[in-house]
Structure 1
Amino acid sequence: MSQGGPRVSAYGSRTAVAAAAVSLVVSLAACGNAGESADSGGNASGKGGFTIGVVFGHIQVARWETFDRPLIEKKLKELCEDCTVEYANAGGDVATQQQQVDTLITKGVKVLILSALDFRSLRSSVETAHDADVPVVAYDGLVEGPISAHVSFDNERVGKLQGEALLRAMGDKADGCQIVMMNGPQTTPTGVAFKKGALSVLEGKVKIGKTYDIPGWRPGTAHTNMVGAIAALGADNIDGVYAANDSLASGVISALKAAGIEPLPPVTGQDADLTAVQRIVTGEQYMSVYKPFKPEADAAAQMAVALGRGEKLDDIAETTVDTPTTKDIPAVLLNPIPVTVDNLKDTVVKDGVYTIDQICTPKFESACKEAGLTQ
């Protein structure tokens, strides 16, 4: 299906069809079960194990170590009992990530799952992997070079959901409102897509008083820039803040609180970090975007095992994407979900991402009762 499905540009992702996502989850749920056939991609095929490299870029964004890594490693073990995993995290440094990729190739990994910090700067590492016959699965964001597969969410859709939520939060007064945009880095297709999606909703609807692109998703930089925006625009002239993810939202909110702004204007986010969910409960952050981690991690693991065994991805990838260097990359694109205080129970709690006890610690007991999370 990867060759026959719809093509998606790296700079203009099409919305993933919900049925495709459901189909993916169903197919993944069947993987690794006892009695599966030799062609199902599971360890029942009897094929020997090999080493899979997993290279992430961020430590300050909580999701990577808390969810993505353990979920990928668990699924890899289910699909290939004899496979081993070599893990590395670059901690936000591109040069370190380049070195980590090169080191894993030298150590003999058979396939790589890579979440690239910079989609251009990692191109040489991807080319090195290709020359060594090591397929690369681009995880959560694209990267230039001859990658073999991609799994992520519809990232323009993420930006649109954030922009729509911000307009809703400002209500009838949205027309003529002034906002600040705290975008992610524009050196990655994900950051570019988030911003593009948000602007498609916000432009013409509100005045964008200040806009910033934050390298490395650094909350400290977001805080500093928000302090500057408050000084330039005035504390009473900021009606909302588009923050591309929860880390940036934390920096924005700390600056707003330090300036004594009350009530806080609505602030968006993304990733549904636990601290962000707690800020949503207290009303400090208006919303986040929940990207179900398990389907993404499962798809990446399934792709990696299939590629490591020399198998095609036709039964896994529902579509294809293009980058400036590579066309028709087999891809899985999943649907993001907006999260506000009204649907926390039906999203992150229902899916088991967090328990009520994890969210509603004594510090948040009163806010949780008011939000209807506890009695």
Structure 2
Amino acid sequence: MGLGAGPPAVKRRSFTRASVAVAVAVGLVLAGACGGGGGDGDGDGDGDGSLSVGVLLPGGGASRFGQFDGPLIEKQLKRLCPDCPAPTIAATSDPAVQRQQLESMITRRVDVLVLAAVDPQLLRPSVEAAHRAGIPVVAYDRLAQGPISGYVTFDGTTVGRLQGEALLKAMGTKARGGQIVMMNGATTDPNAGWFKRGALSVLQGKVKIGKSYDTVGWRPENAFVNMTRAIAALGAGDIDGVLAANDSLAGAVVAALNAAEVRPLPPITGQDADLAGVRRIVRGDQYMTVYKPFEPAATAAAKMAVALGRGRTVGSIATGTVDSATTKNIPAVLLPSVPVTVGNIKGTLVKDGMYTIDQICTPALRSACAKAGLTR
């Protein structure tokens, strides 16, 4: 399975589990603009000339990358390099298309690339081609293979551990010996293995894992089919919890359980704090999600991109290093994540401005929102 078979080797300078406040603090530290004055990426960003930046994302539109990461990276690049043209942003969930997009940006001679790889192995030759062309690559969210110059992500082991801990808490007395289904991400995404191992570090030896699936392409339709199979194999009444790796998969799990008329729904985890997932949490269909504050990540990626595009190093930006299957000691920023349940939506997602109460609380959810304290 290549890189997707396990998490990257992480060497931290200092990283501990943290709250949203810490994530925001990280963002403030990283928010110092890049550019003139020194060779480590620090400075005010003025007077260093224009840069062309290519940004390649594994999804657009309603996905977290389309809603949050892409716009935030563009915003931060504009702040750090006011005279630079708007970045070229390309989004697709098709690895072959993303490879074409990357190669097109190499041909156009962008100065630096920010890459959230759909398939790190397939993209490796293109990353190597960018390196030969003198174009540094910042891996974003997912660790691409090849000569990467910097990496920004959320600590995947922590994400998986938070999901596993929350699931056990929600299962109550069934957390000892109960049966769960694991709906993992795609093996082509190195983060999926990272999340899975973090969850297993909490779950193994406590619950029975009745079925475990690796979801091809992170596609909800594949998760729906797999969950339908799990219900048929294990029995509708014998599933005490579902470890879903993200909110899209959680939505598919809920749909499959509803189609099988399973009542009550078992606790289900998620990740990314998608609006649909947050609404499911308010409704009671999903137990939790993992909130990953995207602005600190976008800021770090933009800062690395501007520094590298101007020929500087990113050592002072990084919080540690990681090793991929192909490259050692990649400077990395590893950011903390926060578990969100119905009781702390207002104190995390709403407080940080990710969503307003009006966005979350549709007319059908007004009663549930009032019960959850989601009022203005």
1:88-167 map, 5 Å: 88-90=90-92, 92-167=93-168
| Aligned position for 1:10 | 8
Q: Report the residue type matching 1:52 in the other structure.
A: V
For 2:57 and 2:128, how far apart are their aligned partners in 1?
18
| Aligned position for 1:42 | 44
For 2:283 and 2:43, how far apart are their aligned partners in 1?
45
Deviation at 1:82, TM superposition (A): 2.0
Q: Is 1:87–2:89 an aligned residue pair?
A: yes
Q: Is 1:334–2:335 an aligned residue pair?
A: yes
| Aligned position for 1:3 | none
For 2:289 and 2:194, how far apart are their aligned partners in 1?
17
SS where residue 58 of structure 1 aligns?
coil
For 1:13 and 1:213, how far apart are their aligned partners in 2?
27
SS where residue 355 of structure 2 aligns?
coil
| Aligned position for 2:4 | none
Deviation sequence 1:105-146 (CA, Å, 0-9, x none)? 101101000000112111111101000000000000101100
Deviation sequence 1:316-342 (CA, Å, 0-9, x none)? 111111112111111000001000001
1:341-352 map, 5 Å: 341-352=342-353
For 1:217 and 1:60, how far apart are their aligned partners in 2?
16
Q: Residues 117, 61 of structure 1: CA spacing in aligned structure 2 closer, same or farther, 3 A cutoff?
A: farther
For 1:235 and 1:60, how far apart are their aligned partners in 2?
34
State whether residues 271 and 289 of structure 1, in contact with CA within 8 Å, keep that contact through their aligned partners in structure 2.
yes
Deviation at 1:12, TM superposition (A): 5.9
SS where residue 209 of structure 2 aligns?
strand
| Aligned position for 1:57 | 58
SS where residue 82 of structure 1 aligns?
coil
Deviation sequence 1:158-193 (CA, Å, 0-9, x none)? 001001100000012211100001000112210110
State whether residues 13 and 154 of structure 1, in contact with CA within 8 Å, keep that contact through their aligned partners in structure 2.
no
- What residue ranges of structure 1 are gaps of 5+ in the alignment? 1-8
Q: Residues 87, 364 of structure 1: CA spacing in aligned structure 2 closer, same or farther, 3 A cutoff?
A: same
Q: TM-score, normalised by structure 2?
A: 0.92
Deviation at 1:23, TM superposition (A): 5.8
State whether residues 41 and 302 of structure 1, in contact with CA within 8 Å, keep that contact through their aligned partners in structure 2.
no
SS where residue 308 of structure 2 aligns?
helix
Deviation at 1:374, TM superposition (A): 2.0
SS where residue 284 of structure 1 aligns?
coil
For 2:60 and 2:235, how far apart are their aligned partners in 1?
34
For 1:222 and 1:122, how far apart are their aligned partners in 2?
25
1:66-81 map, 5 Å: 66-81=67-82
State whether residues 32 and 43 of structure 2, in contact with CA within 8 Å, keep that contact through their aligned partners in structure 1.
no
SS where residue 59 of structure 2 aligns?
coil
SS where residue 164 of structure 1 aligns?
helix
Q: Is 1:300–2:298 an aligned residue pair?
A: no
Q: Is 1:317–2:318 an aligned residue pair?
A: yes
| Aligned position for 1:31 | 33
For 1:174 and 1:60, how far apart are their aligned partners in 2?
37
For 1:18 and 1:173, how far apart are their aligned partners in 2?
27
| Aligned position for 1:271 | 272
| Aligned position for 1:236 | 237
State whether residues 36 and 45 of structure 2, in contact with CA within 8 Å, keep that contact through their aligned partners in structure 1.
no
Q: Residues 308, 12 of structure 1: CA spacing in aligned structure 2 closer, same or farther, 3 A cutoff?
A: closer
SS where residue 230 of structure 1 aligns?
helix
SS where residue 121 of structure 2 aligns?
coil
Deviation at 1:297, TM superposition (A): 0.4
SS where residue 346 of structure 1 aligns?
helix
Deviation sequence 1:292-324 (CA, Å, 0-9, x none)? 000000000000000001111122111111112
SS where residue 285 of structure 1 aligns?
coil
State whether residues 153 and 335 of structure 1, in contact with CA within 8 Å, keep that contact through their aligned partners in structure 2.
yes
State whether residues 13 and 155 of structure 1, in contact with CA within 8 Å, keep that contact through their aligned partners in structure 2.
no
Q: Report the residue type matching 1:42 in the other structure.
A: D
- Worse-superposed segment, 176-185 or 116-125: 116-125
Q: TM-score, normalised by structure 1?
A: 0.93
Q: Report the residue type matching 1:72 in the other structure.
A: I
Q: Report the residue type matching 2:240 in the other structure.
A: D
For 2:260 and 2:100, how far apart are their aligned partners in 1?
42
- What residue ranges of structure 2 are gaps of 5+ in the alignment? 1-6
- Worse-superposed segment, 143-152 or 355-364: 355-364
| Aligned position for 1:198 | 199
State whether residues 12 and 193 of structure 1, in contact with CA within 8 Å, keep that contact through their aligned partners in structure 2.
no
User: CA RMSD for the aligned pairs?
Assistant: 1.9
SS where residue 43 of structure 1 aligns?
coil
Deviation at 1:38, TM superposition (A): 3.8
Identity of aligned residues (%): 58
SS where residue 122 of structure 2 aligns?
coil
For 2:23 and 2:292, how far apart are their aligned partners in 1?
12
SS where residue 138 of structure 2 aligns?
strand
